[in-house]
Amino acid sequence: MLPKPNPRAHSDGTQMSSGGLNGAHVADQEPSHQSEIASKTADREIGLVGEHGKRLTQGCQSQAVILTPDGHPDKPGRLNNLGNSWLSRFERLGELSDLDHAIDCQSHAVILAPDGHPDKPACLNNLGISWSRRFKRLGELSDLDHAIGCQSQAVSLTPDGHPDKPSRLSNLGNSWLSRFERLGELSDLDHAIDCQSQAVSLTPDGHPDKPSRLSNLGNSWFRRFKRLGELSDLDHAIDCQSQAVILAPDGHPDKPACLNNLGNSWSRRFERLGELSDLDHAIDCQSQAVSLTPDGHPDKPGCLNNLGISWFRRFERLGELSDLDHAIDCQSQAVSLTPDGHPDKPGCLSNLGNSWSRRFERLGELSDLDHAIDCQSQAVIITPDGHPDKPRCLNNLGNSWSRRFERLGELSDLDHAIDCQSQAVSLTPDGHPDKPGCLSNLGISWFRRFERLGELVDLEQASQAFRAGATITTFNPTAQMRSAQLWAASCTLLESSPLEAYRVAFSLLPRLVWIGQTTRYRHANLVSVRDLATEAAAWAISVNLHKLALEWLEQGRSVIWGQTLRLRTPFDDLRLANSELALRFQSIASQLDAAASRPVAQSQNSEFPPDLVSEAAKHHQLADEWDRVLEEARRLPGFENFLKPLEFDDLKQAAHQGPVIIINTHRTRCDALILLPGSDDIIHMPLTTVCLDTMTQLVAEAHRTMGQRGNHEDIRGFTVKKTQGNLLPALMWSDIVDPVLNILGYTEKANYDELPHVTWCTTGAMSLLPLHAAGMYDGKTRNACDLVVSSYAPTLTALLWHRIPSSSQVGLLAVAQQASPGQTALPNTLEELKAISKYSTVTKYHELEGSSATVDATLAAMEENSWVHLACHAVQDLSDPSQSAFHLHDGRLMLEEISRRKFKNKGLAFLSACETATGDRALPDEATHLAAGMLIAGYPSVIGTMWSIKDEDAPLVAEIVYSELLKDGTMDHTRSARALHKAVRVLRETVGEKEIWRWAPFIHIGV
């Protein structure tokens, strides 16, 4: 079976912005020079006395035209002004006959104005605007060609420096953009951006048309992003459109259009990056655009449609049905308000159909799906052949037919789906960001056909579609990764090698989890690929590619942790080869590292802090620059593999302190891969008795029990209900630890100083297991604690990065917080500091407790001291691991703050608090806990806790650890694992070995 992805249209091809976006192409109408005052008076009268005044003005202008004989020099100007009035009336009321009157008047004006007449450019410009409006209303390409012809002449006849030059360039740019939207020719879009960029640069600050021209330029950058997927284009769009919103005062007629356009760009950026704050900005802008656009205005349907798109995307992200109801309400209004024959009608119908289809998927009401298919069928029918939106409409309709097949089992529905999706694929140009999503959807339909009929040819068709979607050259990593994963799964079903599919998937990973985003949102993007590494490794192990399995596990686990380490890599070798390039690398890396925790812009009535908006764009630019500089470095002789994922010859060095045991866990199999010091071989141990479902259930129950509030035993941060029985330790022993230790020959008890040291590097649910506590505890059978000293490592890289001990470690910082605001008291933290201080004579000792233990003071002291001991409350934030924190006197010391530090010459971090080494159950293969944050910050050796600890146990453990580590008068963090093992042994003997919940939470991580 393939994985069960939702058969959704890829988001880039699902919803189509319309109407209001085009409506923001604010054209600059021009009166004749001779009649400029009359024209302005007419505008003023319309604004003051409404339609009656407008009709009166038009009547006067009509009489003026009638009374002016042909050949009179003022005839063209008067016709031009009358045409402008008809155009203004059309734009307010939407009556097509008014537009026809405008074109008739303005055409006569152009004909009557001789070459060289000073009003000729203005007449051409205005006629071009009217032809453009007619195209937008009826979709006739010949009207747009007329518009471009007139406006091109107007621009060429207008000398440089003329005050009307910017407006004519802007109008011509809008028409080129409309042509691109109709035909999809990139050269038209290039013309649009060129014209609009000139228009903006020629328009002085403070000019009333500056906002509209910036917004129009932003629209073109937006369209370029939609076509090519280059995020820098979307950043340009947001920058232009944000300026437009800021510059357009309240009451400005272009304000709604500017807000609508900016909202569209924010919505699209959410779709690309998944940052929810972008979607909040979008809904805020678009809601204002809707409320500011009066009923009956031609732009109202487009604004409603675009707001509906954003509500739809919010539903897809958060699953709130009320958001989908908002989407359907907005999109239904947009459809009903958009007249038949309007070029935006197909997009509005298709979008409404998508929302009905999702509603069916959520609630199961077949009538919703019927509504969807009806809307989307109409959209396909009325979208002309050759229109760039045709493939999107077909793709969306195909998805609804596919859902109908899933519900009713009618093979004809699936045939409809495949037919629509096949057309969508063939009509979408190569390189278009929508192409991978279309191919993925087509592949899913072919697979469903294989499931129904059992025809191998259908599975082969599915696999080919997935392969094409994964390997196409475009900027859409989300859709491409989805295709790659489905391609690998289909290969397995076809009994062919998924090797290429997995390699493609891993190559896409840096683009999906992109360093141009904040750490918080990179974590969110990882959810879709959380099983990639273990799945790929399981297949590689099954065909005896053990080295490849290790390499893939290293690439696909602790991804963000690895990205941070690469940014903090010393560039010494590169500096010797090319000092200038190394300096650029260092500068970009430092800025990217800092940007990972940047704040996001929060909207306040559509006003966004410009510095935060520009910070996001700068972050994206830095990520692009990093890629370019990386390519440049890899062209240097000897640097071909610079900062590439480590290969086995490097990874095997992780076993420098003793065996490293990698446990790979996947639904298909469970295996141990063992590295030995100085060996080029991998010991493979299939763990055939492991039942992953049972183990996962036991892990979940253990963590619920360990952290459950319920009885009266005071511990650091929680109260604990004792476990009943020792099922989990027994299963860990029999199914995992005992077989591994047997194959290593570690079967006999030994003295403390002679125990072998092993490091566990686990995956999936195993990452939450206390393997060091495995055992039967029946008084007869051996257990792990008697046979080995255990450490843990999030990745092999973690053991390599900190391999060489610093020779200049000095200083021990001890922090205690007995009574944090809002937390239970921890009286034994002071006893803990007393115990530590007894052994601190070998180095300088710095103590912070009570009111002196503030966040800033602690961070400053951490900079000055090589070791740190934190005795306080801690909190693990599973929804956002970067917000996990230590409770200090004046607030939280956040993991996010610790992780971005670059401490030098550090050794041990002892985190004597609750759950400092508890991972994220949603992303168990990501090192997201507080202990991992200390590793990233530069501490190579960390003692943490897997769950809550009893307050009275901490001083005992701390005293023994430091007595061991400092007894020889030196500071050597590499002895931390052995020191902790001794301390836990004493605690175990004190409380009893069956009190696992008390002694087992203490673990050592790192070297």
Separation between Cα atoms, residue 138 and residue 95, nearest integer Å: 12
Give the DSSP letter string of 245-257: HHHS-TT-TTHHH
Lowest mean pLDDT among 35-44, 497-506, 796-805: 35-44
pLDDT in tens, 366-399: 999 999 999 999 999 999 999 999 999 999 999 9
pLDDT tens for 742-777 read 999 999 888 878 899 999 999 988 888 899 999 998
**496 Cβ neighbours under 8 A, 6+ residues apart:** none
Average of per-residue pLDDT across 72-77: 79
> pLDDT tens digits for 7-21?
333 333 346 654 333
The secondary structure of residue 719, as a DSSP letter, is B
Give the sheet arrangement for strand 885-888, strand by strand.
874-875, 885-888, 891-894
Residues 6+ apart with CB under 8 A from 135: 141, 143, 144, 147, 178, 343
3-class secondary structure per residue, 907-918? CEEEEECCCCCC
pLDDT tens-digit readout, 682-739: 999 999 998 878 877 777 776 666 554 333 345 554 344 444 446 889 999 999 999 9
Q: Is the pLDDT of residue 223 over 90?
A: yes
- What the block records as the tokens of 466 is 């997935």
Spell out the long-range contacts of 243-247 with Cβ–Cβ below 8 A and sequence spacing 24 or more: 243/211, 243/214, 244/210, 244/211, 244/212, 244/214, 244/215, 244/218, 245/211, 245/285, 245/606, 245/607, 246/607, 246/610, 247/210, 247/211, 247/214
Residue 97 to residue 739: CA distance in whole angstroms? 86
Q: Are 120 and 113 in contact (CB under 8 A)?
A: yes
- Looking from the CA of 845 toward its CB, the CA atoms found within 13 Å total 14
Beta strand segments in 707-776, E: 757-762
Whether 171 shows a pLDDT value over 50: the answer reads yes
The predicted pLDDT at position 40 comes to 26
The proportion of the chain whose per-residue pLDDT surpasses 70, expressed as a percent, equals: 88
Are 502 and 508 in contact, with CB atoms under 8 Å apart? no
User: What is the overall mean pLDDT for the chain?
Assistant: 87
As a whole number of angstroms, the distance between CA 794 and CA 935 comes to 10
Q: Residue 27 pLDDT > 60, yes or no?
A: no
* 780: CB partners within 8 A, 6+ apart: none
Q: Which of 26-30, 110-114, 604-608 has the lowest mean pLDDT?
A: 26-30
Spatial separation of the C-alpha atoms in residues 517 and 629, rounded to whole Å: 18
What number is the average pLDDT over the span 482-488? Answer: 98
Q: Which residue has the tokens 């469903």?
A: 448
Which residues share a beta bridge with 760? 661, 792
List, in order, residues 6 or more apart from 925 with CB less than 8 Å away: 530, 533, 534, 556, 557, 558, 763, 764, 767
- For residue range 505-529, what is the model confidence (pLDDT) as tens digits? 999 999 999 999 988 888 888 989 9
pLDDT of residue 35: 26
| pLDDT more than 90, % of the chain | 66
CA distance 937 to 931: 10
Here the contacts of 251-256 (C-beta below 8 Å, separation 24 or greater) are 252/208, 252/211, 254/24, 254/26, 254/211, 254/212, 254/215, 255/211, 255/292, 256/20, 256/288, 256/289, 256/290, 256/292, 256/293, 256/299, 256/303
Which residues contact residue 864 at a Cβ distance below 8 angstroms, ignoring those fewer than 6 apart? Answer: 811, 813, 846
Tell which residue, 76, 173, 74, 177, has the closest CA to residue 127.
Answer: 76
Helical H segments across 715-772, by residue range: 727-732, 738-744
pLDDT band at 136 (very low <50, low <70, confident <90, very high): confident
Tell me which range, 805-819, 855-869, 906-920, is most confidently predicted by mean pLDDT: 855-869
> Rounded to an integer, what distance in angstroms lies between the CA atom of residue 111 and that of residue 123?
9
Residue 674, SS3? strand
Distances (CA, A) of 876 to 558, 895, 917, 919: 17, 10, 9, 9
Q: What is the pLDDT of residue 765?
A: 83
Secondary structure letter of residue 599 according to DSSP: P
* Domain 808-1006 coded CATH 3.40.190.10: no
Summarised one tens digit per residue, pLDDT across range 525-550 is 898 999 999 999 999 999 999 999 99
Question: For the chain, what's the residue count?
Answer: 1007
Domain-wise residue ranges, the chain: 20-246, 570-642, 648-798, 808-1006
- Sign of the CA dihedral 44, 48, 51, 54? negative
pTM of the complete model: 0.85
Burial of 45 (0-12, 13-18, 19+ CB in 10 A): middle
CATH of 20-246, one of 1.20.140.10, 1.25.40.10, 3.30.420.140, 1.10.3210.10: 1.25.40.10
Q: How far apart are CA 893 and CA 909, in angstroms?
A: 15
The DSSP letter of residue 724 is S
Res 443: pLDDT: 98
Cβ distance 565 to 592 under 8 Å?
no
H or E, element range at 792: strand 789-792
Lowest mean pLDDT among 90-94, 302-306, 308-312, 878-882: 878-882
Quickly list DSSP for 353-381.
HHHHHHHHHHH--HHHHHHHHHHHHHHHH
Q: Tens of pLDDT along 451-464?
A: 999 999 999 999 99
Q: Quick: pLDDT tens for 547-571.
A: 999 999 999 999 988 898 889 888 8
Here the tokens at position 1003 are: 């673990």
669-672: list long-range contacts, CB under 8 Å, 24+ apart.
669/538, 669/541, 669/542, 671/538, 671/541, 672/736, 672/739, 672/740
Q: Give the helix/strand (H/E) hosting 491.
A: helix 477-493
- Give per-residue pLDDT as tens, 334-348: 999 999 999 999 999
